[in-house]
């Protein structure tokens, strides 16, 4: 399954919690989901065949309810990749070997350090 975004998770969660039709305007009011996000989510779930879609209302079908249960781990338990976070693997240097000589940046060490120790 394609990676799921936060707003898609919010929509699917609301659909699963509701017993019948969900008015998408309520989701806009509650989570400030934009019409673009809601159309995108509705189109995606419609293509997956898990919802019924009429005007601005969505309903999870019986197959959809089953689909959510089968995919619950991917949908709700896995952490989404943090695309916005700095990739530490790329910027942290390899650890030095203990026997390798190491020279600290003297300028970065406060003068007080030398006076006191």
Partner 1 sequence: MPRPPEAALITRSPHKLGRSDFEKLFKLVRVQPWLEKRQQELSDVLDICVSLKEQNLLCDLLFRFTYISEDTLSSSLVCMANQICKVWNCVPESTLIVAINRSSFSDSSEVIAWYLKPVLAEFGDWETHNFVSRMRDAVDRIAEGGSIILVDEFVGSGETLAGAISWIQEQLAASNKKAILYACTLASMIGSQAAVAAKDVAYFSSNWLSRGISDHYEGEELEEAKEHMGRLEAELEEQAGNRTLKKYFFGYKRTEALYYLNSGNSCNNVFPIFWWPELKGRKPRKPLLRRV
The nearest distance, CB 116 to partner 1, in angstroms, is 43
Q: For residues 33-52, which are near partner 1 according to CB under 8 A?
A: 33-40, 43-44
Q: Look at the block and give the residue holding tokens 């970065």.
A: 108
Regarding 109 and contact with partner 1 (CB under 8 A), the answer is: no
Regarding 83 and contact with partner 1 (CB under 8 A), the answer is: yes
Site string for partner 1, 52-71 (x = CB under 8 A): ---xx---------------
Token code pair at residue 112: 């007080």
Q: Which residue number, 56 or 61, has a Cβ lying nearer to partner 1? A: 56
Token code pair at residue 56: 């601005």
How far apart CA 16 and CA 10 sit, in angstroms, is: 10
The nearest distance, CB 10 to partner 1, in angstroms, is 10
Token code pair at residue 32: 């400030």
What is the length of the chain?
117
Region from 5-13, 58-66, 68-76, 94-102 binding partner 1, contact rule CB under 8 A:
5-13
How far apart CA 33 and CA 110 sit, in angstroms, is: 50
Q: Which residue number, 66 or 78, has a Cβ lying nearer to partner 1? A: 78
How far apart CA 116 and CA 59 sit, in angstroms, is: 70
């Amino acid at each position: 399954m394609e990676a799921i975004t936060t707003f898609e998770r919010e929509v699917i969660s609301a659909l699963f919690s509701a017993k019948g039709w969900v008015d998408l305007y309520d989701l806009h009011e509650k989570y400030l989901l934009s019409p673009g996000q809601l159309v995108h989510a509705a189109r995606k779930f419609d293509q997956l065949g898990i919802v019924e879609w009429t005007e601005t209302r969505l309903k999870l079908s019986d197959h959809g309810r089953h689909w959510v249960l089968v995919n619950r781990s991917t949908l709700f338990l896995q952490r989404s990749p943090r695309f916005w976070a700095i990739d530490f693997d790329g910027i942290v240097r390899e650890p030095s070997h203990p026997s390798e000589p190491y020279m600290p940046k003297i300028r970065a060490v406060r003068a007080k350090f030398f006076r006191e120790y």
